[in-house]
Chains A and B, each alone.
Chain A
Amino acid sequence: MADVLVCVKRVPDFSGEVLLSDDAQSADARYVGHTLSNHDLCAVETAVQLAAATGGSATVLTVGSADAVEQLRTALGVGCAAAVLVEADPVTLGPADVAREVAAVVADHEASRGASYDLVLLGNDAADSGDFQVGIRLARLLDRPVVTGVQTVTLDGDRATLVSDVAEGRETYRVPTPAVVTVLEGGVEPRYPTITGRMKAKKIPVEERALSAEPVGSGRVRLRVPAPQSSTSTLLGEGPEAAPAVVDLLQQLGVAR
Chain B
Amino acid sequence: MIVVYVETVRGVVAEVSLEAVAFARTLAAAGGGIPVDAVVCGPLGDAGPKELAEAGVRTVLHADTGEFDVFSGAAHARAVLAAREQTRAVVLMGGGTNRGNDVMARVATELDVAMAANVVAFEGLSPFTVTRQVVGGAALEEVRLGSRPAVFSVAGHAVEATPAETAGPATLTPLAVALEPGDLTVQAVSVQPVDTEAAGNLKSARVVVGAGRGAGGPEGFGDALELAELLGGQLGVSRVVTSLGWRPHHEQVGQTGSRISPEVYIPCGISGAIQHWAGCASSKVILAVNTDADAPMMTKATYAVVGDMHEVVPAVNEEIRRRRG
Contact = CB atoms under 8 A, between A and B. Distances in A.
Contacts, number: 248
Contacts of A168: 7, 9, 71, 97-99, 193-194
Given A133-B101, A171-B191, A219-B143, A165 B245 contact: yes
Prevailing SS type, chain A contact patch: mixed
A111 interface: no
B287 A236 contact: yes
A170 B302 CA distance: 36
B318 A243 contact: yes
B226 interface: no
Interface in A214-257: 218-226, 229-244, 246-247, 249-251, 253-257
B249 A165 contact: yes
Contacts of B143: 218-221
Interface in A145-182: 145-149, 161, 164-176
Contacts of A223: 134, 139-142
A236 B242 CA distance: 29
Given A132-B101, A255-B263, A243 B139 contact: no
A94 B144 CA distance: 12
A8 interface: no
A232 B194 contact: no
Contacts of B230: 256
Contact of A230 (B7, B231, B299): B299
A233 B142 contact: no
B90 interface: no
B136 A224 contact: no
A20 B188 CA distance: 43
Contact of A173 (B189, B301, B316): B189
A240 B133 contact: no
A184 B91 CA distance: 29
B312 interface: yes
Contacts of B207: 255
8 nearest interchain CB pairs? A240-B315, A133-B105, A243-B315, A231-B299, A186-B243, A132-B101, A169-B193, A239-B307
Given A18-B135, A170-B191, 11 more contacts: A136-B105, A167-B242, A167-B256, A168-B194, A172-B188, A185-B243, A226-B140, A233-B304, A240-B314, A246-B316, A247-B319
